[in-house]
Amino acid sequence: MAETQLSKLHIAMFPWFAAGHMTPFLHISNELAARGHKITFLMPSKALPLLQNLNLHPNLISFHFLTVPHVSGLPPATETASDIPISLTPLLASAFDMTRPQVAEILCSACPDVVFYDFAYWVPEIAAPLRIKSVSFTVVSAASIAVIAYPGRRVTVDDPITEEELRKPPPGYPSSTVVLRGCREVRSLLFLSMPFGEGGITFHERLMTSYRNSNAIAIRTCEEIEGNFCSYLAKQFQKKLLLTGPLMAAPNKTTTTPTTSCLDEKWEKWLDQFEPKTVIFCAFGSQLTLEKDQLQELVLGIEQTRLPFLVALKPPTGSNSIEEALPEGFEERVRERGAVYGGWVQQPLILNHPSVGCFVSHCGFGSMWESLMSEPQIVLIPSLGDQILNARLLAQELQVGVEVKREEDGKFTSQSVREAIESVMLVEAAGVGEMVKKNHQKWNHVLTNPGFMDAYIHHFVNDLQNGWT
Ligand SMILES: O=c1ccn([C@@H]2O[C@H](COP(=O)(O)OP(=O)(O)O[C@H]3O[C@H](CO)[C@@H](O)[C@H](O)[C@H]3O)[C@@H](O)[C@H]2O)c(=O)[nH]1
């Protein structure tokens, strides 16, 4: 599709220091650079190994390293969310805020046309006097912002958001299925009232200020799947919404952007030994650490399906390695057909390996798109607030996957894991499995249709070039 012939843009990117944020910021950078726009990408140097292979246009995308100040309570040399347990992220947010003078200096000297940011709610204060437009780029679903979209409500430590408020979505919220249920799920959003960063600003206030003070809100989503939530947000914030589309390309299928690399030989060979669409792949993103008993229930449930599997998860709380936390005798029992790995694997490439037939996912937003845009059947075990809403979007609204049942106490059991996987993988359990497969294929076809992503990026760039009010 021909781009409007306007001058090329220079865009600065400043994502929160977490893989789930930096990665989609780099994906949009790649799409923009593929169309000739120049990118200045601000990040901590420790993120380089994660990002450098994903940079498909090093001639146009330049990385600028920020020094992450030490904050008392953080382990030495902490730079990204992957370096710490989730409980320490408010301290990392303080370190993130303390990079403000460095960010100001780079914006002042690089003088981009636009700056994209997410958690750095203070960016518009730096950018506006420099006549740089600010775009608040949301890398979580529109639904998960819509459910807390109270632009006028100042949530402070002294006036926290209550369970009562969270139990019902805001007036006019456009869905009755993409909602939180029960106390445990509602409580998963109480972190919104926690101080998150310098000056004791709460997480909710940080987000609302980000949206309020931006020139536009960009979201990594598409009308076809989240149109109702996007219209709702545009109305709530009285802002222009720019949609990037899903961004994550299934290898070799969707966009003009070339793909990154090949699957590691070790996993390629390991997966090659199994029949097509039989292997269960399980990964829970970059942040989530399970409790040891939940890790054990998970792997036992997977074992009970008798299918081959590859589980790639962080070691659980209190364990130095994932191996030491496995149930007794587990490794011997599954040696021939199961691999459990405590490190990082190339998830998008694994999902596209012909042997993989089922993806057991925490439904982080990145994984949500990757699951929709690949073929394996989808089984969901969400934990955090936005993951729960993403899972409802897939399991209830689109009906493309199944969610693992949890007990009253919020825990899942090996039995519930096994049942959910079998409901989509066993031929004899045809009902649900066939239904979600058909729906998934329909959406997969829409999202991976050649031109779908290109059309989104085309409109997105046009909006950036001439859509400002
Ligand atoms: O071994 C692994 C594990 C993950 N990934 C990739 O890492 C990304 C993970 O992103 P996501 O699925 O969004 O999960 P999180 O890292 O958990 O993401 C955080 O950020 C998301 C927003 O992007 C939120 O939706 C989540 O709740 C939050 O935990 C995905 O692209 C995965 O393909 C790998 O390549 N290899």
User: Mind listing the pLDDT tens digit for each residue in 383-430?
Assistant: 988 999 999 999 999 999 999 999 999 999 999 999 999 999 997 767
pLDDT above 70: residue 112:
yes
- Which CATH number covers residue 239? 3.40.50.2000
User: Mind listing the pLDDT tens digit for each residue in 52-100?
Assistant: 988 999 999 999 999 999 999 999 999 999 899 888 999 999 999 999 9
> Position of tokens 């923009």?
32
Residues 271, 242 share a domain:
no
Assess whether the C-beta atom of 350 lies below 6 angstroms from ligand 1. Answer: no
Assigned domain for 156 exists = yes
Distance, in Å, from the CA atom of 88 to the CA atom of 92, rounded to the nearest integer, reads: 7
Residues 247, 269 share a domain:
no
pTM: 0.92
Residues 219, 340 share a domain:
no
Residues 370, 437 share a domain:
yes
Question: Given this model, what pLDDT does residue 333 score?
Answer: 98
Helix axes 365-372, 19-34, angle to 10 degrees: 50
pLDDT-derived band at 5, boundaries 50, 70, 90: low
Residues 175, 317 share a domain:
no
User: Mind listing the pLDDT tens digit for each residue in 288-306?
Assistant: 899 999 999 999 999 999 9
Residue ranges making up the domain that contains 348: 262-447
* Segment (H or E) for 303: helix 292-304
Give the distance (Å) from ligand 1 centre to CA of residue 413. Answer: 23
User: Mind listing the pLDDT tens digit for each residue in 435-446?
Assistant: 999 999 999 999
Domain count for the chain, please give it: 2
Residues 287, 185 share a domain:
no
User: Mind listing the pLDDT tens digit for each residue in 303-357?
Assistant: 999 999 999 999 999 999 999 999 999 999 999 999 999 998 999 999 999 999 9
Residues 440, 302 share a domain:
yes
User: Mind listing the pLDDT tens digit for each residue in 250-262?
Assistant: 443 444 444 456 9
Residues 25, 86 share a domain:
yes
DSSP 45-111: GGGHHHHGGG-S-TTTEEEEEEP----TTSPTT--SGGGS-GGGHHHHHHHHHTTHHHHHHHHHHH-
- Nearest residue (by CA) to ligand 1, atom 17, is 285
Question: Given this model, what pLDDT does residue 429 score?
Answer: 66
Atom of ligand 1 nearest to the CA of 286: 16
Q: Can you read off the two tokens belonging to residue 188?
A: 């998963």
Question: Given this model, what pLDDT does residue 469 score?
Answer: 59
Assigned domain for 14 exists = yes
Assigned domain for 459 exists = no
Assess whether the C-beta atom of 344 lies below 6 angstroms from ligand 1. Answer: yes
By CB atoms closer than 10 A (0-12, 13-18, 19+), residue 129 is exposed
- Taking alpha carbons only, the member of 8, 225, 237 closest to residue 135 is 237
Question: Given this model, what pLDDT does residue 322 score?
Answer: 97
Atom of ligand 1 nearest to the CA of 248: 31
Residues 308, 234 share a domain:
no
Q: Can you read off the two tokens belonging to residue 385?
A: 């607030």
Residues 231, 279 share a domain:
no
User: Among 202, 231, 251, where does a domain finish?
Assistant: 251
Residues 277, 235 share a domain:
no
Residues 343, 244 share a domain:
no
Assigned domain for 195 exists = yes
Question: Given this model, what pLDDT does residue 412 score?
Answer: 98
